[in-house]
Amino acid sequence: MNNIGLILSIVIGIGYCFLTISNSSRQKDKYYYKLFNEKIFSIHIIGALLIGTFGLWRVINFDNREFFYFNPLIYLMLLRLLNYLSLFIYKRPLILATRWDSPPKGKNGIKFFDKCMLFLLLLIPTGVSLFLLKLILEGV
């Protein structure tokens, strides 16, 4: 029963990232694509800040293994940064395609950059969350 907080933080932290990427096989229908809209992104960033604040309270007061609450906030900031990078390099939004998707082909289709960014979007939030946990524990 002591691990329920840890399990909940994993479901929220990693589940949010995974569900925004894998909810449809068409790129335009994927939820991460809607996050490029400023209004929707603002709502999600506020929600991620609230979840991160709750996670900070949980890490400081209860169980320091619940660092996954920071993942949605880091994921959203990284997604926005990588999208701007993709717009700068390829003049199109970032394409996050899993192996079951049918990504666009041709000149504006999926590139090696997009495949690498998908991997980084799933890996970096957890690494940064661990780093934040270390900083919090050293400061407390």
Query: Residues 126, 132: contact at Cβ < 8 Å?
Result: no
What is the distance between the alpha carbons of residues 66 and 96, in angstroms, rounded to a whole number?
A: 27
Residue ranges of the chain with per-residue pLDDT less than 70: 1-2, 23-29, 97-110, 140
Closest of 17, 2, 3 to residue 126, by C-alpha? 17
What is the distance between the alpha carbons of residues 106 and 117, in angstroms, rounded to a whole number?
A: 19
Q: What is the pLDDT of residue 45?
A: 94
Q: What is the pLDDT of residue 115?
A: 77
Summarised one tens digit per residue, pLDDT across range 72-83 is 999 999 999 988
The model scores a pTM over 0.85: no
Closest of 96, 73, 129, 77 to residue 20, by C-alpha? 96
Q: What is the pLDDT of residue 26?
A: 62
What is the distance between the alpha carbons of residues 10 and 71, in angstroms, rounded to a whole number?
A: 9
Summarised one tens digit per residue, pLDDT across range 39-49 is 999 999 999 99
What is the distance between the alpha carbons of residues 72 and 98, in angstroms, rounded to a whole number?
A: 19
Share of the chain above pLDDT 90, in %: 17
Fill in the DSSP letter of residue 138.
Answer: H
